[in-house]
Structure 1
Amino acid sequence: MTHTTLPYTIHRGDALQVLRGLADASVDAVITDPPYCSGGQTMAARARPTGEKYINSGSKAPLPDFEGDFRDQRGFLAWASQWLAECHRVTKPGGHLLAFIDWRMLPTMTDAVQVAGWVWQGIVVWDKTGGCRPQRGRFRSQAEYVVWASRGPLDIKAHPVVLPGVLPVHPQLGGKQHQVGKPESLMEKLLAIVPPASTVLDPFMGSATTGVAALRAGHHFVGVEMSEGYFDVAEKRLQREPPNRFVQ
């Protein structure tokens, strides 16, 4: 990992390739929002631009598409198992994994997490309240999920927090800088599981919402992003955050 006096280190490139260059047991937690690869029942539908799959028509401020969102379930399982295994290697024993996913790919993600060696600890529900698309004749797709796992057993005594398992946060709270970006307040709630002054890794950094929340909570951040456009957005956002006195 590149040495820096900043409280963050970011890499532009493919997540799997960058992860292979990180040191063993060098981070305390992995918190990430990978491409879900779930926006269609057929390969042709999955290969559509992400803006067509995930963004409501008539959006006032269209944001750039992102890469890597085309795999079927078997392809997703093989791919996710690889990067999750690298995340497992670079995480310290007892460290946390929190990975976002939706209902379509939830079973595949939980399989990949366990294939990669993580201990599956449960699922956190993100309740999007009233901020989800209406669907006639159907229950609203009001929830997304965070697969929670650990590298080996948890050290509960080291950070004995008691946290809710359902997090109600409107998806548009605070605005978006990525097509499928998560609200800062949601990431802040998830980061409560991480012990103070930790190093948090996000191999699918996007616009660096996880990074911003991590810095504000007193953590060091390591991020990876493939898209040049979103990498630039992430870099500018992180540069605006003042140096944090808790980071060593």
Structure 2
Amino acid sequence: MSRIETIAEGVTLYLGDCREILPTLGKVDAVVTDPPYGIGFAAQPTTGQRKAGQGREKWDDSVVDGLPSLLDRGNIQVVWGGNYYGLTPTRGWLSWFKPDAPPSMAHFELAWTNQDRNARQISCSIAATNAERVGHPTQKPLAVMKWTLEQFPNCQTILDPFMGSGTTGVAAVKMGRQFIGIEIEPKYFDIACKRISEALKQPDMFIEPPTPAKQEALEL
């Protein structure tokens, strides 16, 4: 059953299918997301993930149909893994270089944007983010998502229709941005709610956090 969790004023999370929820939402400054790539990575947990209890999951076995129509809520659009989709040509790519990536893994990842601007790159260690991991097989480092949002300083309302464990939301609230997240998998939705709630209690210094509000659960 779908739920809405209002974590704070300007921070709302939806449990459900984004294809059903997005038509009910208005425009936002930016859609920043990391959808399934269709490479089946979640079905092949690493040794470390298996030891941590991660099982095989099939949601990453195919790309998302009709992704462009799911992005049009945002004036600015950023899609990590966008190179796996037939999106319009752009020169505004973002890149995450992984200096410690093993030979069996990609040494960098790309994010498509709808912006006509110079490409940008961040170098961020995989191992340095191990302490952040919460059980999601394709969890992005918080530093990478904060850097992503820093590329668009005028975007105050961020929407992630494939929220996963909520890293985009954590980055957004720590930077004083408003956030709307959608996740279809209940266990990851619950993780995202917890992570974003905790992030609101520990905002970055000198940044005004969204105003806290009473948490509520509603039926859609």
Residues 133/3 of structure 1: CA separation in 2 closer, same or farther (3 Å cut): closer
1:50 maps to which residue? 42
- SS of equivalent residue, structure 2 residue 168: helix
Residues 199/228 of structure 1: CA separation in 2 closer, same or farther (3 Å cut): same
Distance, in Å, in 2 between the alignment partners of 1:65 and 1:186 is 25
Partner amino acid, structure 2, of 1:176: R
The answer (yes or no) to whether the contact 1:31–1:202 under 8 Å persists in 2 is yes
| Counterparts of residues 9-158 of structure 1 (less than 5 Å) | 9-23=12-26, 26-39=27-40, 50-52=42-44, 55-59=45-49, 60-63=51-54, 66=57, 68-71=59-62, 76=63, 79=65, 82-88=66-72, 90-91=73-74, 95-101=75-81, 106=83, 108-109=84-85, 111=86, 113-114=87-88, 120-130=90-100, 132-135=101-104, 141-150=106-115
Residues 70/224 of structure 1: CA separation in 2 closer, same or farther (3 Å cut): same
- SS of equivalent residue, structure 2 residue 172: helix
Partner amino acid, structure 1, of 2:158: V
Residues 213/3 of structure 1: CA separation in 2 closer, same or farther (3 Å cut): closer
Residues 218/196 of structure 1: CA separation in 2 closer, same or farther (3 Å cut): farther
1:217 maps to which residue? 175
Higher-Rg member (1/2): 1
Residues 58/184 of structure 1: CA separation in 2 closer, same or farther (3 Å cut): closer
2:132 maps to which residue? 175
TM-score (norm 2): 0.78
What do the CA deviations read for 1:181-235 (whole angstroms, capped 9, x no partner)?
A: 0010111111112234600000000110000000011100000001100000001
Give identity over the alignment, percent.
Answer: 28
Distance, in Å, in 1 between the alignment partners of 2:161 and 2:56 is 18
Distance, in Å, in 1 between the alignment partners of 2:154 and 2:56 is 34
Distance, in Å, in 1 between the alignment partners of 2:165 and 2:76 is 22
Partner amino acid, structure 1, of 2:151: I
Partner amino acid, structure 2, of 1:168: S
Partner amino acid, structure 1, of 2:111: V
2:217 maps to which residue? none
What do the CA deviations read for 1:39-59 (whole angstroms, capped 9, x no partner)?
A: 3xxxxxxxxx8242xx32243
What do the CA deviations read for 1:113-144 (whole angstroms, capped 9, x no partner)?
A: 33xxxx734211111111x2324xxxx62011
Unaligned runs of at least 5 residues, structure 1: 40-48, 155-162
TM-score (norm 1): 0.70
Residues 32/206 of structure 1: CA separation in 2 closer, same or farther (3 Å cut): same
1:233 maps to which residue? 191
Unaligned runs of at least 5 residues, structure 2: 212-220
The count of residues paired between Structure 1 and Structure 2 equals 198
Residues 170/164 of structure 1: CA separation in 2 closer, same or farther (3 Å cut): farther
What is the deviation of 1:7? 3.2
The answer (yes or no) to whether the contact 2:142–2:171 under 8 Å persists in 1 is yes
Q: Output the aligned Cα RMSD.
A: 2.8
